[in-house]
Structure 1
Amino acid sequence: MSKKRREIPVFDHPIIETHCHLDYLKDRELKETLEQSQRVNIEKLITIAVSPDNLGRVRELSQIAPWVYGTQGIHPHEAESYSDAVEEEIRGHALDEKIVAVGEIGLDYFYDNADQGVQREVFRRQLQIACDTDRPVVIHSRDADEDTIAILKEFENTLGRRGVIHSFTSGPGLAQYALDQGWCLGFNGITTFNKAENVRDIVRMASIEQILLETDSPFLTPVPYRGRENAPFYLPFVAEKIAEVKELPLEEVLSKTYKNSLRTFFPGQ
Structure 2
Amino acid sequence: MSRKKREIPVFDHPIIETHCHLDYLKDQPLADILAETRRVNIEKVITIAVSPDNLARVRELSQSADWLYGTQGIHPHDAELYNDDVEAEIRSHAGDDKIVAVGEIGLDYYYDNADRGIQREVFRRQLQIACDHDRPVVIHSRDADDDTITILQEFEGPLQRRGVIHSFTSGPGLARYALDQGWCLGFNGITTFNKAENVRDIVRMAPIGQILLETDAPFLTPVPYRGRENAPFYIPFVAEKIAEIKELPVEEVVATTYRNSIRTFFSN
Shorter-chain TM-score: what band? Answer: over 0.9
Query: Structure 1 residue 4: deviation in Å?
Result: 4.1
Gaps of 5+ in 2: none
Query: Structure 1 residue 127: deviation in Å?
Result: 0.1
2-side partners of 1:212 and 1:161: how far apart? 15
1:236 paired residue number: 236
Query: Structure 1 residue 3: deviation in Å?
Result: 6.0
Look up the equivalent residue of 2:78 and give its one-letter code.
Answer: E
RMSD value over aligned CA atoms?
A: 1.0
2-side partners of 1:250 and 1:27: how far apart? 29
2:134 paired residue number: 134
1:224 paired residue number: 224
Name the SS of the counterpart of 1:174 in structure 2.
helix
1:120 paired residue number: 120
Look up the equivalent residue of 2:127 and give its one-letter code.
Answer: L
Moved over 2 A (4+): 1-4
2:24 paired residue number: 24
Query: Structure 1 residue 64: deviation in Å?
Result: 1.1
2:72 paired residue number: 72
The one-character-per-residue Cα deviations of 1:133-161 (angstroms, maximum 9, x if unpaired) are 00000000000000000000000011010
2-side partners of 1:169 and 1:20: how far apart? 17
1-side partners of 2:227 and 2:122: how far apart? 34
Name the SS of the counterpart of 2:218 in structure 1.
coil
Name the SS of the counterpart of 2:91 in structure 1.
helix
Gaps of 5+ in 1: none
Name the SS of the counterpart of 1:100 in structure 2.
strand
Matched positions, count:
268
Query: Structure 1 residue 89: deviation in Å?
Result: 0.3
Name the SS of the counterpart of 1:103 in structure 2.
strand
Is the 2:12–2:251 contact (alpha carbons within 8 Å) kept by the matching residues of 1?
no
Name the SS of the counterpart of 2:230 in structure 1.
coil
Distance 1:231 1:147, change over 3 A: same
1-side partners of 2:248 and 2:13: how far apart? 15
Alignment of 1:42-81 (within 5 A): 42-81=42-81
Percent of residue pairs identical: 82
Look up the equivalent residue of 1:73 and give its one-letter code.
Answer: G
Name the SS of the counterpart of 1:176 in structure 2.
helix
The one-character-per-residue Cα deviations of 1:115-148 (angstroms, maximum 9, x if unpaired) are 0000000000000000000000000000000000
2-side partners of 1:150 and 1:2: how far apart? 44
